[in-house]
Amino acid sequence: MSEGSKGSSLAFGQVVIGPPGSGKTTYCHGMQEFMGRIGRKVAVVNLDPANEAMPYQCALDIAELITLPDVMESLKLGPNGGLIYCMEYLEANFDWLQEKLAAFRGHYYLFDCPGQVELYTHHNALKNVFAQLAKWNFRLAAVHLVDSHYCTDPGKFISVLCTSLSTMLHVELPHVNVLSKMDLIEQYGKLAFNLDYYTEVLDLSYLVDHLASDPFFRSYRRLNEKLVEVIEDYSLVSFVPLNVQDKASMRQVMQAVDKANGCCFGEQEHRSLEALMSAAVGADFHFTSTLAVQEKYLQSQDKAVEEEVMEL
């Protein structure tokens, strides 16, 4: 993986990013198991110096280089400042990273990244790390996880769209936005629109109108309209729904990422994938597609309405 060596083999992978609590570590664990069952050799690289409890099999841990508690104690920094220092320290030690990654040639890489949003919207350390990996013939796609509960709050959803767009423009990698925890969406509250409205980011003027019905947001209508115009002018943001416990959902995300980073799987993996999917028909998986999630959600809402009518 020497820099500038055109003859070295390509390495494919994902950089898993997103705000705290969006499910990045759970995603890496689930994707490692899913890809392992279809024959891919997966190496998970933990780049979060604050990540102590890792459920997945970790091939490389940044804690071998630097840890957040040590930085906070020695430099008297807070969590955010300490994390930024850790990323800058990683950027200054590319030789260490290159040497460690070389031990896993032939693997598919999952980079579990920190959760601080500023690292992906305006700070350059991680962006420079990703650029250096590209020079070492890594073909990476950014998988940006967003908790699906933001769909239940129009104001928060507009904020998520702005953050996703800013991240896409700053990180400068092929990008797949993912709505995580879709299996829990029914617990978050009623959606104002059908699920595909949020995944495909359809006409956002309806969302602005919905916000205007709230007295708090009414005075901010003009601001929301301008934010929505920015999002629609770029026309880049859309989401893939994800339920980590559903094989069909994991397959959908994996195929979207494969298209983004150019990874083409072989015939043997294709057969393994088909065999795995044929075993996913059992009753242990309740969500086989976005439509299934949407239908179940709508049915529960219809039932609630019927019960209210019966009470009347």
How confident is residue 292, by pLDDT bands cut at 50, 70 and 90? low
Average pLDDT of the segment spanning 208-231: 86
| Average pLDDT, rounded, for the chain | 85
Calpha distance 305→312 (Å, rounded): 11
HEC readout, the chain: CCCCCCCCCCEEEEEEECCCCCCHHHHHHHHHHHHHHCCCCEEEEECCCCCCCCCCCEEEEHHHCCCHHHHHHHHCCCHHHHHHHHHHHHHCCHHHHHHHHHHHCCCEEEEECCCCCHHHHCCCHHHHHHHHHHHCCEEEEEEEEEEHHHHHCHHHHHHHHHHHHHHHHHHCCCEEEEEECHHHHHHCCCCCCCHHHHHCCCCCHHHHHHHHCCHHHHCCHHHHHHHHHHHHHHCCCCEEECCCCCHHHHHHHHHHHHHHHCCCCCHHHHHHHHHHHHHHHCCCCCCCCHHHHHHHHHHHHHHHHHHHHHHC
Whole-model pTM over 0.85:
no
Share of the chain above pLDDT 70, in %: 82
- Higher per-residue pLDDT: 173 or 307: 173
For the ranges 97-111, 166-180, 185-199, 278-292, the lowest mean pLDDT is seen at 278-292
Residue pLDDT, tens place only, 18-67: 998 899 999 999 999 999 998 899 999 999 999 888 999 999 999 999 99
Q: Which domains does the chain have, with CATH numbers?
A: 12-201+237-301 (3.40.50.300)
Calpha distance 196→173 (Å, rounded): 25
Average pLDDT of the segment spanning 150-155: 87
Is the pLDDT confidence value at 93 over 90?
A: yes
pLDDT, residue 5, reads 44
How confident is residue 281, by pLDDT bands cut at 50, 70 and 90? very low
For the ranges 7-21, 66-80, 292-306, the lowest mean pLDDT is seen at 292-306
